[in-house]
Amino acid sequence: MYKLDQSVTWQKLEKLAVSTGADRIADYFAADPMRFERMSLRLEGLFLDYSKNRISDAVFAALLQLAEHSPLHQRRAQMFSGDIINVTEDRPVLHTALRNRGGQPVIVNGEDVMPGIEAGLEKLRLFSEQVRNGKWLGYTGKPIRNIVNIGIGGSDLGPNMVCRALLNYQHPELGFHFISNVDGQHIKKVLKRLDPETTLFIVSTKTFSTQETLLNANSAKRWFLEKSGASETDVGHHFVAVSTNKAAAMAFGIRPDCIFEFWAWVGGRYSLWSSIGLPIALSIGYDRFIELLEGAHAMDQHFQSAPLQRNMPVILALIGIWYINFLGAETQAIIPYDQAMHQFPSFLQQLDMESNGKSVDMEGNPVSYATGPIVWGETGSNGQHAFFQLLHQGTRFVPIDFIATLRPDEETADHHFALLTNMLAQANAFMNGDAGEGKQEFASSPGNRPSNVLLLDELSPHSLGALIALYEHKVFVQGAIWNINSFDQWGVELGKRLASEISSNIERESSEYDVSTQGLMALVKQHMDEVKPKTGRDTKRDGTVS
């Protein structure tokens, strides 16, 4: 049986952590002028420099051995061929099929899923072209000007992040808005600026059962009907759905031809490649959306075929494992030096933490080693003036991924130069510090703090697709080595179930909850009851209109 932390390689790595863990990265460079050359990789418009890590050749070799002896090879083959690797939900995991641009069949339960995927893409093309060309008309005959995506988690973060990152490619006459939070202030703020005659809502929910999304969708529908004076039948011109649950979408009032379906084997956080990417196709156009898929497909091919020691996702994953399991890192900072990428850390939070935030292995046994890190981050150079102080001189050990785009915007090339030189300076300062130069203790930075630098030639659909797939596979590799299921999320499901139970039980002062929860429920009930007479509506709704 696979017991990761009882393997000879694991023990070797533990010893290496003791003997080399305090090595200076700068000394590795001094000893090897070829280190940058050897520890960098170019692929699909991405350049990865991983030379500024606290990793000796012996450590890297042992990490590769760890990967070789793990279920990685087997699980990677299983994922791409549609085997059931999400065992707790009894599903294959096939986001890679959604961007399979090579034309090979992908067989699930004896059936090729590719014709269905192609048909879904064709529907996306036709609809997005109609809206973008001004041919999809609202109920008064006006073209659509604003698009509102209503969804949360994977039904928000992926399309939201990509639309913002590719803002330069956005249709000039369309505005894009994303409503996710159940907090009514979110929807209120967005709707305030919109005209119902020219607004299109996308109700984006894999299950069509998520409380936040249903509440927001119902509130949007009510706003549309009240503000426009339109009738229920007009809803069809202004609401479309993206879901695997066609029946529930139809019950909401969406026309069957306006439901963009996908499949249970697409995980929420891996779904931007499916019809969940509809806002992306609307924003940048169908052809550019395909370029995004092609970038991801190129990374998929690299991940499947490159030897482990030159395999970008594997390298990033192994570096992370070294820091998490052997040098005690608790977190991973993601710092894009690119304002358009400001949502990327949030996107990666869900991707990584919902996937690898697990403490039970594939056989259902508690793991005896650390798994997924706390992922966090913010754009540079803003972060430099907020939390970088702790990264330079604090007591925590925080590995960093810097991400930047090489090609400057011509109008702001001077800003871009400053942006990139700031990033280079930070990566250099983290590695070298400035201790030992006659400085007083409080003023000296110890350095020896590791980072990866990922440079995109340009922030294009293709390179962004490749970058996202890179991190998806990094997370996959770590999950395979840790022998956990990266594709379920039972902890989140618990929260969803309890929220629904509490909202149903709040009326009857139930004693089944702990005293703290009961006390807090009473306070909430009291305040909600106070506003009920004013709104005339039952405020304790669970996503349904009452």
Which parts of this chain interact with ligand F6P (CB under 6 A)? 152-155, 205-207, 210, 213, 268-269, 489, 492
We find the least distance from the C-beta atom of residue 132 to ligand F6P, in angstroms, to be 25
Q: How many CA atoms lie within 13 A of 453 on its CB side?
A: 24
Residue from 37, 192, 232, 385 carrying the catalytic annotation: 385
Residue 79 or 298: the one with the smaller Cβ distance to ligand F6P is 79
Give the position of tokens 């929420």.
Answer: 268
Cβ atoms of 332 and 322 within 8 Å: the answer is: no
Cβ atoms of 77 and 475 within 8 Å: the answer is: no
- The Cα–Cα gap between 186 and 356 comes to 29
Q: Is residue 330 annotated as part of the catalytic site, yes or no?
A: no
- The Cα–Cα gap between 270 and 427 comes to 30
Residue 154 or 320: the one with the smaller Cβ distance to ligand F6P is 154
- Angle made by CA atoms 96, 359, 485, in degrees to the nearest 5: 20
Record the tokens describing residue 391, joined without a space: 């990264």
For the chain, the maximum distance between any two Cα atoms, rounded to a whole number of angstroms, is: 77
| Radius of gyration of the chain, Cα coordinates, nearest whole angstrom | 25
We find the least distance from the C-beta atom of residue 360 to ligand F6P, in angstroms, to be 18
- The Cα–Cα gap between 377 and 55 comes to 23
Q: Tell me the DSSP string of 393-441.
A: HSS----EEEEEE-SPPGGGHHHHHHHHHHHHHHHHHHHH--TTSS--G
**Beta strands 451-456 and 46-49, pairing class:** antiparallel
Residue 72 or 94: the one with the smaller Cβ distance to ligand F6P is 94
Residue from 95, 354, 416, 473 carrying the catalytic annotation: 354
Residue 76 or 206: the one with the smaller Cβ distance to ligand F6P is 206
Q: How many CA atoms lie within 13 A of 145 on its CB side?
A: 8
Helix or strand or coil: residue 142? coil
We find the least distance from the C-beta atom of residue 217 to ligand F6P, in angstroms, to be 10
Record the tokens describing residue 403, joined without a space: 């991400």
We find the least distance from the C-beta atom of residue 249 to ligand F6P, in angstroms, to be 12
We find the least distance from the C-beta atom of residue 348 to ligand F6P, in angstroms, to be 14
Closest CA to 184 of 162, 156, 212: 212
The residue number with the shortest CB distance to ligand F6P is 268
Record the tokens describing residue 259, joined without a space: 């439901």
54 Cβ contact list (under 8 Å, min separation 6): 20, 21, 23, 25, 322, 323, 327, 448, 450
334 Cβ contact list (under 8 Å, min separation 6): 344, 345, 348, 375, 376, 377, 400, 401, 403
364 — alpha (psi -120 to 50), left (phi > 0) or beta?
Answer: left
We find the least distance from the C-beta atom of residue 241 to ligand F6P, in angstroms, to be 11
169: enclosing H helix or E strand = none
Encode 53-65: b = buried (16+ Cβ within 10 Å), e = exposed.
Answer: bbbbeebbebbbb
Q: Is residue 385 annotated as part of the catalytic site, yes or no?
A: yes
Encode 211-230: b = buried (16+ Cβ within 10 Å), e = exposed.
Answer: bbbbbbbbbbbebbbeebeb
We find the least distance from the C-beta atom of residue 126 to ligand F6P, in angstroms, to be 23
Closest CA to 503 of 457, 465, 450, 540: 540
We find the least distance from the C-beta atom of residue 130 to ligand F6P, in angstroms, to be 25
Residue 152 or 202: the one with the smaller Cβ distance to ligand F6P is 152
We find the least distance from the C-beta atom of residue 214 to ligand F6P, in angstroms, to be 8
Q: Is residue 12 annotated as part of the catalytic site, yes or no?
A: no
We find the least distance from the C-beta atom of residue 379 to ligand F6P, in angstroms, to be 24
Residue 64 or 353: the one with the smaller Cβ distance to ligand F6P is 353
Residues taking part in catalysis: 354, 385, 496
